[in-house]
Amino acid sequence: MKMIKGPAIFLAQFATDAAPFNSFASICGWAASLGYNGVQIPSWDRRLLDLKKASESQTYADEVKGIASRHGLSITELSTHLQGQLVAVHPAYDTAFDGFAAPEVRGNPKARTEWAVDQVKRAILASKRLGLTVHATFSGALAWPYIYPWPQRPAGLVETAFDELAKRWRPILDYADEQGVDLAYEIHPGEDLHDGVSYEMFLDRVNNHKRANLLYDPSHFVLQQLDYLDYIDIYHARIKAFHVKDAEFDPTGRQGVYGGFQSWVDRAGRFRSLGDGQVDFGAIFSKLTQYDYDSWAVLEWECALKHPEQGAREGAEFIKSHIIRVTEKAFDDFAGSATDDAANRKMLGIS
């Protein structure tokens, strides 16, 4: 069996203009001081990474690796969650998502999509330069506004949306394959790939592309009331990345999964710091270990209540305590006895 690597931390929620969160070197020092040994980098944040340089310059990529290494850290993955979102945007979300894009393509959906595709490809190439084999992203969404079938969806609407989504991603997946990098789509509400069924619809349309893999985050499954342990049994071969994030779901007579348009703190389903929610991480780490998941366990801190620095500090030890040191022998080896073929046949009554 193989061991999960970690603890690691996704830096997106921590980067600010104030030290030590305003440069890659200083935020690495902070993460290392908390006990992390890996960092996942948001590729859109120029305070931490110049994506264009990382995709074009091996020297720069080596410098970034060197900064992490000097703090005893590995880079786990690059993330293009924001750019991946923009590969496919329904017009209803044009204004809301425009802020994710470079200023020069805002207000121009076609140019924004082209920019997003280029960004994801650059991140794939930068991943290769950094020696990484997995890249974390979102799928984007064209069908999401029609998630609830009222009014009745016209025949073929969803199929057309997924055909187009696959058409946009297939060249990116092929490029990822050329670079030897897996794409790990985070299954997430707001994305067309938001559960197992929708992922399979996409996978079928990209011909089960070997690079179309998964980032596993159980918090989103709690909020959807999806069985996050059975999900591992079904999709373990496709799980290439892991966000360790907690959540809770406490429905009332007034609200449930949809949340009643409330803010995060007042929703029935809320993200929580590790250990404060309802996710059974003992069972998750056991299942992933059972299936030989040997990539990183990465804290993604999101909580409606707790301060991020407290969540980060507690998260390192939480993840470390859940990583299973795999056994090198069977627990009942002490009771074993030497046998041979003749003895085995005798035990089975075979002459």
Question: The tokens 């022998």 sit on which residue?
Answer: 329
Region 153-174: what's the mean pLDDT?
Answer: 98
Beta bridge pairs of residue 243? 298
Average pLDDT for 244-262: 97
Question: How far, in Å, CA of 286 to CA of 275, rounded?
Answer: 16
| Band of residue 338 on the pLDDT scale cut at 50, 70, 90 | confident
Confidence of residue 334 (pLDDT cuts 50, 70, 90): low
pLDDT digits (tens, 9 = 90+) for 8-50: 999 999 999 999 999 999 999 999 999 999 999 999 999 999 9
Could you tell me the domains of the chain?
5-347 (3.20.20.150)
* Separation CA 182–CA 179 (nearest Å): 9
Residue 280: what pLDDT?
98
Q: Which residues pair with 272 in a beta bridge?
A: 246
Peptide bond into 7 cis (omega under 30): yes
- Separation between Cα atoms, residue 313 and residue 317, nearest integer Å: 7
Over range 49-76, report the average pLDDT: 98
Considering the entire predicted model, what is its pTM?
0.95
**pLDDT of residue 333 exceeding 80:** no
Instruction: Give the sign of the dihedral formed by CA 226, CA 41, CA 239, CA 171.
Output: positive
